Chains A and B, each alone.
Chain A
Amino acid sequence: MTEQSLLRPKRGALDATQAKRGLPFWALTLILIGCAVLVIVAWLLAPWVAEDDTAAPIGIQLINEGATRNFAPMWLIPIGAFLLIYAALPRLFYPYLQLLSIPFRLLPALIGIGSINVVRVAPLPLKKPRSGSGRALHTLADVLSAPLRLRPVRYTPPPISAKAARNSGLLMLLSLLYFWLYQGQILPSLLAALSALGIGFWVVFAVALAVINIWRITPEEAQPIVEEIVERREGGLMPPESALARTLRARRVTASGWSSAFFLANVVGLVALIVLLLNIINQSFGYAVVNYAIKPSELSPDKPLETLSEAELARLLEDKVNRNRLRAIVRDNLLGRQFSQIRLSGAQVINIFPERAFDPERSDQTFSRALGDKRFSTLNARELVTVFSLGLGIPRESLENEPISVAFSGKAFNPAIADKKLSELSILEAAELLAANAPRPQVTVDYLLGDPIEKLFEGRNFRPEVAEKRYDELAIGEYIDLLEDNLDTTQLYRIILRDVAQLRYDRAWTLIESLTNYQGILAEKEASDTLREGDLQFKAWLSLDFILTELTASPATTGLRTSLIGSLWVIILTILIALPLGVGAAVYLEEYAEKNLLNAVIETNIRNLAGVPSIIYGMLGLAIFVRALEQLTSGAFIGITDSNGRTVISAAFTMALLILPVVIINAQEAIRAVPSSIREASYGVGATKWQTTARQVLPAAFPGILTGLILSVSRAIGETAPLLVVGGLTFTLIDPNGPFSKFSVVPIQIYSWTADPATGFRNVAAAAIITLLIVLLLLNTTAIVLRQRLSKSLRG
């Protein structure tokens, strides 16, 4: 970084091409260590034993054993961070140390001796291995055991350089800024430092440069100097040595200033990454106040709730829940919260005759608002008359007084009811009558009254005696039968926890707050009436349970399984579509295409497609796959009826188009890298073009193709916008089970949870983000390992 090294060839200039090939092996090690750290953190913070839910995890318990039950005072954190960074990047802090050592250096100078006793870290008595992983391990051991290797040594301090003093001043200023900003909030001040570094530093530099420019001498001032120079040159004299030295010094100051600025630009990126990850971990763990509408111990005083059998749980539901609530519970858990109300309980009057919607101008011809909102199945005799007379245009008097055969003469009706009056009909008969005469074909008996159980629960378990009944007619016992027949004990338990005990989190604290401010948390809990009733417990929002549980509407019980399965389906189908198309296109462009206009257009087009915003692909998918090809993508052509075009397969096609350019470009590069000698040899022994391509070129290019594919897939897994447009659901209860099912994916869940301001959703989102990032890390690591392995075997 110094100007002294100007003439030395840049280190590593020669292996620039090597560096481009990808992550070096140590980076891989770093990633793996990162994974391991994440896992350890998760393990440390996850509830230790499931039996006692309220206990803090063992790691926290150990930490909190101290008298104050605080893990660490706040000031330990910056010091710890400083020490960690120091261990990792000692070079960064040399100037600091130099500055700190000034008194020590001054002292010997004052008392006239040349050296002093100082404490230094003795070198690790192990040879540093050359290979990457061994080296990384060595470094790790070095850092970890450093405190054990402090030795007093005789130290002769080097003279303090001007540069060191300046840099340390800069660092001091930055840390002052940091501590000034630091007012009990560690993360905000970290980002403040980040933004100060990022934006502030550049502003300062711009201003400084401007000032320097202002201070530059004007032409008038320069005139005598120029004349002097001309005079000296003519006289064979150069400027004096001191002038040269001054200029040189000024130039070096600017140069080193800029070099720090360029370095800081990188630091900003690094800090941003660290803060981003810390913020997510910070949100995924921490104390939370858990509260119940009815405590589980009250629900089942004799036995713990989680040990009850299915029958006992069902009895509990029967005792504690009223019919309306049960009706909603069954709907939410078996059919989905957003299940069509019309299929469930039948149409509203307004749905049946939309043209008769309330209009103050024509109040005698339209339904009143209240009547319009009523469901057909709940109408009384008077209201039925109004609906029939306005809807079908039959005079009121005739409906009230005359039998059906007269009132409906010329219209369709069942002969069995011909002699009854409208008011004497059962609601089912009325529905049949209306369906037979309705102007629109979609008005059927099922539309008016809701689907019967056998249609609602098609493919699920239900007792034969309720098959014909409508959903709203069921008795309490029959609702519970439905739950019992379709769910297992754990699911029932969760339902009771969520819907009966109504487990909820009233307040959640971040990890840092939990570790450093336990007293404050206790005080806050005691100060509030609602919080005081609940139990304070350490909640690991990220846990195996969270990953394996299905999606629910409450952050306390929700899980990631539904959307994980959705992501899996979409990605697998995407690969199945994109891989053959992408490789085919790459083979064509590299092996077959002649140089003509068409192929040039294809090539340019692929490169331009990579720059199209992903949401545009979503709109393409919406118009083509969801809408135009609905017959195919909804599965209607193979007889699936309960779906529209917003399915897994539409999403997969959209995603495949999105990643196709990247797959093609990567595959092209891989194919191009196959030496032509392999092709020539293959042609030489008489192979055809396709034989050569399929048996020689593609196997040789396979590692590159695979790496490109994995990298683009890891991109696709995190992609949200196009799937949102194509119709990924933000809430669904049914795990996708095929290409034609509706779906949600992990990023969409993260989006919808993040957008929800209720307590707990952000924490759940953070937990989902960690899961997603781990999946991405694993995928990327796989890609790198594959690339290393396969390219080695190819070369060998």
Chain B
Amino acid sequence: MTLETSVETAGFRTAADRLAGATDAYSSLNKRPRPFEELIRLSLFFCALVSVLTTLGIVVVLSTEALNFFTRYGFRSAEQLLIQPVSAEDTILYFDGKGGVPRVGQIIRLNEEDMRVLRLIDNRTFEVERGVLGSRPEPHRANTTLFLGEQVSIIEFLTGTRWVPQGADFGVLALVMATLITSLVAMLVAGPIGLGAAIFISEYASARLRGILKPILEILAAIPTVVYGYFALTFITPLLRNIFWQSEIGAYNQLSAGLAMGIMIIPTIASISEDALSAVPRSLREGSYGLGATRRETVFRVLIPAALSGILAAFILGVSRAVGETMIVAIASGAGPNFSLNPLEAAETMTGHIARISTGDLSFNSVDYNSLFAIGLTLFAITLVLNLISNLIRRRFREVYQ
């Protein structure tokens, strides 16, 4: 009896145990907490986040430093002298009235001290608030020169055509114009040649020829830009001077920089346009040939319209590369901003200016340092707009084939 019971119990227990085991096994199929896996996941997520942080970093850095640029004061002599000495407490200043007069609210400077003009009593007598912008009120002797503080306004920055930091002239157009001219020359070279190369590779070349031409274009793309700069300076410029313009062309000029840049951009335009052309389905080509069209007619009337979005995107990408290209223009286009429409003249582009100014030990918080970021922001904005346009065009002109 006892034995049986025990056996039964044992049997029962075994079954129960099994059942319990099964339930255990079942419950173990549920998601178990895996802290290590979570940790991995988090750290991988952080890796992916770095790129977002980079973008944020670029935007934040460029805008804060550019903001510093637009809010800092540059001081220009007003050609006025103090006629009465002032103590540290006086708030009324008497000048000789021979030079420029500040506006109400403008910052003026005497020696080391900054003041804000509160009231103009007459053209030579001002009431001021002493010791603003972190300076300390101190006494000043007669015949101290008056300096007027001015901020660079955004309007002035965007519309001015002179860039002379020493003279407090910050017109970014002087730099933008050079960028535009070099990019334009580059696109005149790279646009037709790049597109022509793409059409040839994708439509005309045999597989064997394509196997030769594509790597050659890739090699062109792999050459460092400083080498193109060298090419522009030591080859294209002398060539232009020897053949076309003996005397009109300087040792540094925008044309040769633009030409070298054009050669550099050819592969960019060619490879993207070629991708776009290859993506056009074969049925379209066959249809066109079936109607008796020649290859040229097929290319111009069928393929290019069908691949237009990709081709335009390639062109815009080319422009954005040209705008952002630095070393070619830094080497071949010359130093010193110059607002000129003549591509035979030397002029400094935005990127060239940044590269030249930042070479060596640039001291932080100087006008130069801050102005670099204002230019950088402009450059970033231009390339961003170009990228956006490229995306827009891609969406607007996209022909969807299955």
Residues of A within 8 A of B (CB): 1, 3, 6-7, 10-13, 15-16, 19, 23-24, 26-27, 30, 181, 185, 187-188, 191-192, 195, 198-199, 202, 251-252, 254-255, 258-259, 261-266, 268-270, 272-273, 275-276, 279-280, 283, 355, 361-362, 580-585, 587-589, 592-593, 599, 601-602, 605-606, 608-609, 611-620, 622-624, 627, 644, 646, 657, 660-661, 664, 688-690, 714-715, 717-721, 724-725, 727, 729-730, 747, 750-751, 754-755, 762, 765-766, 769, 772-773, 776, 780
Contact = CB atoms under 8 A, between A and B. Distances in A.
A373 B167 CA distance: 26
A754 B233 contact: yes
Contacts of B223: 276, 718, 773, 776
Given A266-B213, A615-B355, 15 more contacts: A11-B206, A11-B207, A262-B200, A265-B192, A611-B387, A613-B326, A615-B351, A615-B354, A619-B61, A620-B61, A623-B61, A688-B37, A720-B326, A750-B226, A750-B230
Given A615-B326, A616-B62, A623-B65, A720 B225 contact: yes
26 contacts: A6-B289, A188-B238, A198-B193, A199-B189, A258-B295, A269-B216, A270-B213, A279-B234, A584-B44, A584-B47, A602-B48, A608-B55, A608-B387, A616-B379, A619-B372, A620-B61, A660-B54, A689-B41, A720-B327, A724-B326, A725-B354, A747-B226, A751-B229, A754-B229, A773-B223, A776-B224
A96 B41 CA distance: 66
Given A252-B294, A593-B48, A765-B230, A259 B327 contact: no
A27 B219 CA distance: 11
Contacts of A251: 294, 297
Interface residues of B, number: 109
Contacts, number: 310
B51 A660 contact: yes
Contacts of A690: 36-37, 40
Contacts of A259: 200, 204, 295-296
B324 interface: yes
Interface in B56-76: 57-58, 61-62, 65
B358 interface: yes
B4 interface: no
B44 A588 contact: yes
Interface stretch (B98-106, B115-123, B359-367): B359-367
B175 interface: no
A714 B199 CA distance: 28
Contact of A581 (B50, B230, B239, B361): B50
B214 interface: yes
A583 B40 CA distance: 13
A266 B197 contact: yes
A12 B210 contact: yes
A599 B40 CA distance: 17
B143 interface: yes
Interface of B: 34, 36-37, 40-41, 43-52, 54-55, 57-58, 61-62, 65, 112, 141, 143-145, 188-189, 192-197, 199-201, 203-204, 206-208, 210-220, 222-231, 233-236, 238-239, 242-243, 259, 263, 266-267, 270, 278, 282, 289, 294-297, 299, 317, 320, 323-327, 330-331, 351, 354-355, 358-361, 364, 372-373, 376, 379-380, 383, 387
B41 to A, nearest CB: 6
A599 B47 CA distance: 12
Contacts of A657: 50, 54
Given A12-B210, A269-B220, A273-B220, A191 B239 contact: yes
A605 B52 contact: yes
